[in-house]
Amino acid sequence: MVVTIGIEDAFYLGVLSSHVHVVWALAQGGTLEDRARYNKTRCFDTFPFPEVDELLRQAITQTAEALDAHRKQVMAKHPKLTMTEMYNVLEKLRAGEPLLQDKKKNEVKTNTDGLISSRLLPMHRELDELVAQAYGLDVKASDEEILQRLVNLNQERAQEEASGHVRWLRPELQCPEQAQLIEEEPESLDEDADEAQEDEETEGRVKLTWPKKLADQVRELRNAIKAYPGESQAWHRERFAKLQEEELAALLEAMLETGVVFETSDGKWF
């Protein structure tokens, strides 16, 4: 059974790809023989998405985009590699089980080609931690604690909807009248206030600590370009605190000459 969720915002991809949603789906959904079934009306429609601040929302969105980009890249590079194979290996790594390597099934090669232990698994762990934080949960919370939190939140949302407050995911399609009212709200005429808001949004971005050692700088920048392919030099500079433009340019030039990264004609880094 295939379920398509038509939402452009990667924030929702991140939440739906997290352990929190997996726990909910397994508890709410049905089964087919020994396999779980994702029932849209029970698993998705009843699922209460978290209410988060902009900083945490950006962090979840960026991690989800990196996850999506990684999977597309490795599957494009290895056309025979499937999503099912990748996630079967990922679950084995999570469980600490040995990977098979024979003529019928070479899970070691799948791990290598898919960069599962080095990239996919760490991204999922980061996503699980961020989404747990969004729900006010400890990343080590038990499945029972997760379910209780979601059930309580589901009941709160039901009460909200009974009083007329619905949290539409896509108001432009689900409730066009409400979306039109939002669009018709007059824009602020206070330019100073608009500039202050832009400054506040800039300061609110997630900033990473820039390492002091050169080897660590190369490793950190390489991992950033790998996780967020196709971004500009300015975009990468904004991700790190206290990283100077001249320092970044010199480092990228050195990495370019040694073949670690490459730049496209429009200034995008891969």
CATH, residue 230: 1.10.10
| Beta-bridge partner residues of 37 | 30
Residues 267 and 233 sit within 8 Å (Cβ to Cβ): yes
Same-domain status, 130 and 44: yes
In a domain, 212, yes or no: yes
Buried (b) or exposed (e) across 123-132, using 16+ Cβ within 10 A? bbebbbbbbb
Last residue of a domain, one of 98, 126, 147: 147
Domain with 234 in it: 208-269
Residue 194 has pLDDT above 90, yes or no: no
Supply the pTM of this predicted model. 0.66
Same-domain status, 143 and 15: yes
Residue for token pair 């962090």? 59
Helices H / strands E in the chain, number of each: 13, 6
Last residue of a domain, one of 147, 165, 189: 147
Tens-place pLDDT, residues 205-262 = 456 788 888 888 888 888 888 878 888 898 888 888 778 888 888 888 888 877 777 7
Torsion of CA 79, 116, 113, 11, to 10 degrees: 40
In a domain, 170, yes or no: no
Same-domain status, 20 and 131: yes
Number of domains the chain contains: 2
In a domain, 138, yes or no: yes
Residue 128 is predicted with a pLDDT of 96
* Most confident residue range from 142-156, 168-182, 228-242: 142-156
Same-domain status, 137 and 14: yes
Same-domain status, 47 and 136: yes
The CB-based long-range contact list for 138-143 (8 Å cut-off, 24+ gap) reads 143/23
